[in-house]
């Protein structure tokens, strides 16, 4: 089976789902909503096949450079969205998720070909556990960010008494705050698991749980930011606008840790170093 063709099918599915969700937003078409839901689920299933094929080919999840990492992020984001949709019926969230997923998968398609086999340092269940928990955690925190943005938008429109048109398709403030809290809690638990499994993987392959690598330091800083937000929600009772703003701030820190640190700071987590080690 041609892996590039499979990925292309996933990309087309996400793109068409984004168009269908936009039609739903503008015209409140139930058929468009149902079609979008089917398309995004189909795209996720097809991309899952692509990732399985890539894993079988190289012996590890194909996440060895920035393009591949972005593609895997798109898969995780869509998977999290589909899971959350079983509890929160929020088709308007699909308007945000599907275009982003399409862009991420498109960028991943620009990645160079995978090697026939990766080096032993990139193989093992601990690395797989680290990647899966971390990226799915990122997906949940991305939803927390989107819920925060939609909360602030809905709050502004309510205060301005503009509740007609597309704005009446936005979820209630209570629903968005509940989505923020659920996504934040699950995302924090998963990135915590990602840090722990990453530390175990480092011990197994490098002989040390912690090496003060810039990515490790910023991952811990990101963890502290989200730990502080959860603490404030649980003990102080932060809700609504304040929690939404902090979710946006936390996601900004997360994006810098994921993208900025890997490019601006040197270390064994940098994408340039990962690509170099991949071929050894």
pLDDT tens digits, one per residue of 214-268 = 888 888 999 999 999 998 888 877 788 888 999 999 999 999 988 877 666 665 5
Characterize 59-77 residue by residue with b for buried, 16 or more Cβ atoms within 10 angstroms of its Cβ, and e for exposed.
Answer: ebbbbbbbbbbbbbbbbbb
- Per-residue pLDDT at 271: 55
- Give every residue of the chain whose pLDDT is below 50, as ranges: 116, 277, 279-280
H-helix segments, 66-124: 66-85, 91-108
- Per-residue pLDDT at 103: 93
- Per-residue pLDDT at 280: 47
CATH architecture of 1-115: Up-down Bundle (1.20)
Question: Token pair of 87, please?
Answer: 């509890």
| Domain regions of the chain by residue span | 1-115, 119-280
Angle subtended by helix axes 173-206 and 125-159, to nearest 10: 160
Q: Which helix (H) or strand (E) holds 161?
A: none
Reported pTM = 0.87
- φ, ψ for residue 108, nearest 5 deg: -65, -30
């Amino acid at each position: 089976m041609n892996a590039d063709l499979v990925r292309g099918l996933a990309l087309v599915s996400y793109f068409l789902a984004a168009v269908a969700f936009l039609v739903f937003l503008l015209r409140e078409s139930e058929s468009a909503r149902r079609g979008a839901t089917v398309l995004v689920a189909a795209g996720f299933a097809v991309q899952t096949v692509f990732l399985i094929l890539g894993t079988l080919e190289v012996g590890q999840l194909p996440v060895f450079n920035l393009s591949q990492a972005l593609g895997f992020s798109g898969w995780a984001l869509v998977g999290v969205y589909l899971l959350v949709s079983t509890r929160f019926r929020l088709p308007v969230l699909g308007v945000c998720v599907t275009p982003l997923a399409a862009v991420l998968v498109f960028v991943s398609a620009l990645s160079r070909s995978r090697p026939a086999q990766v080096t032993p340092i990139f193989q093992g269940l601990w690395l797989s556990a680290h990647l899966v928990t971390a990226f799915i955690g990122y997906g949940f925190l991305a939803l927390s960010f989107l819920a925060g943005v939609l909360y602030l938008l809905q709050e502004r429109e309510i205060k301005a008494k503009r509740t007609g048109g597309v704005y009446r398709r936005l979820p209630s403030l209570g629903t968005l705050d509940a989505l923020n809290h659920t996504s934040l809690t699950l995302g924090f638990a998963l990135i915590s698991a990602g840090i722990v499994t990453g530390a175990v993987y480092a011990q197994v392959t490098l002989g040390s749980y912690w090496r003060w690598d810039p990515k490790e330091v910023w991952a811990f800083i990101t963890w502290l930011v989200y730990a502080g937000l959860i603490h404030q929600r649980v003990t102080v009772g932060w809700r609504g606008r304040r929690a939404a703003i902090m979710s946006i701030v936390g996601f900004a820190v997360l994006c810098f840790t994921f993208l900025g640190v890997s490019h601006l700071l040197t270390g064994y987590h940098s994408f340039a170093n990962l690509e170099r080690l991949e071929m050894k």
